[in-house]
Amino acid sequence: MSNLADVRIKGVNKEFHINGERIDVLKEIDLEVKSGEFVCIVGASGCGKSTLLKMLVGLEKPTTGDIFIGSRKVVNPSVECGMVFQEARLCPWLTVKGNISFGIAKRLPRKEKAKIVVDHIKLVGLEGFEKAFSGQLSGGMQQRVSIARALVNRPALLLLDEPLGALDALTRINMQKEILRIWEQEKTTMILVTHDIDEAVYLGDRVVVLSSRPGEIRQDIKVDMARPRDRTSDDFALIRRKVYREFFKDSNNQPEYFL
């Protein structure tokens, strides 16, 4: 499986019907992500960020519009798209090795599977923990396993739905660095949803800001900074300010610093 693919979201709308009432979640989403890009999506709670990822992976269908990964129209889940959730969602009865191998296509020979597992344990820096169970791992280590499991089939696209939201500040910063290292090594196209604007500016080639529900693309901001990025630099602060202004555009509670 090639790990190179463009992503195209064309005129996507999404609505839910709850107790006979229509709820518009996403409105006229048009977005392109180039092969190998790292794009971060930010927006208020309930604006449809996670729903958009679920449509990309094929767990939800657009009400109208189309989504393409490479030349394939997304209509159902596929191994060419991996997903990492906020919770690691590991099988507690399996070891690190078992959880990672769980996601590998069954058609592969056992020897090849074993090599893939070893390679991905190294990729996420968990050598020495192959036989550990999830309950014996820290939150950050559990997410490393989750990322490795999502990458074992070499997906064209990796989706990350607030994968660091439950971690403490120091672990979160270290995991951001690890995600960047993995992205730079694997060159997989990545789309990450986050509430953390600093995280989006630190990680992304672009930061896409969604409006409040129904979510519309308010701004697509290019992060034109070399990596590794200095969070204390003037350039970082300038881009962060642009994102904040768009993020709080509908709110009367915009911090004075960003007015």
pLDDT tens column, 109-150: 888 889 999 999 999 999 999 999 999 999 999 999 999 999
pLDDT at 179: 94
Query: Is 151 within the bounds of a domain?
Result: no
Mind spelling out the 3-state secondary structure of 69-134? ECCEECCCCCCCEEEECCCCCCCCCCEHHHHHHHCCCCCCCHHHHHHHHHHHHHHCCCCCCCCCEH
Residue 67 belongs to a domain: yes
Whether the pLDDT of residue 19 is over 70: the answer is: yes
In this structure, is residue 142 part of a structural domain?
A: no
Per-residue pLDDT at 104 = 84
Residue 112 lies in a domain: no
Q: How many domains does the chain have?
A: 1
Domain-embedded: residue 82 = yes
**Could you read off the pLDDT of 156-211 as tens digits, one per residue?**
899 999 999 888 999 999 999 999 999 999 889 999 999 899 999 999 999 999 99
Query: Residue 221 domain-assigned?
Result: yes
Query: Domain with 166 in it: what CATH number?
Result: 3.40.50.300
For residue 14, give its domain range: 7-90+157-258
In a domain, 122, yes or no: no
pTM for the model stands at 0.91
Q: Are β-strands 217-222 and 64-69 bridged in parallel, bridged antiparallel, or unpaired?
A: unpaired
pLDDT in tens, 62-97: 999 999 998 899 998 888 899 999 888 899 999 999
Rounded to the nearest integer, the mean pLDDT of the chain is 90
| Residue 197 forms part of a structural domain | yes
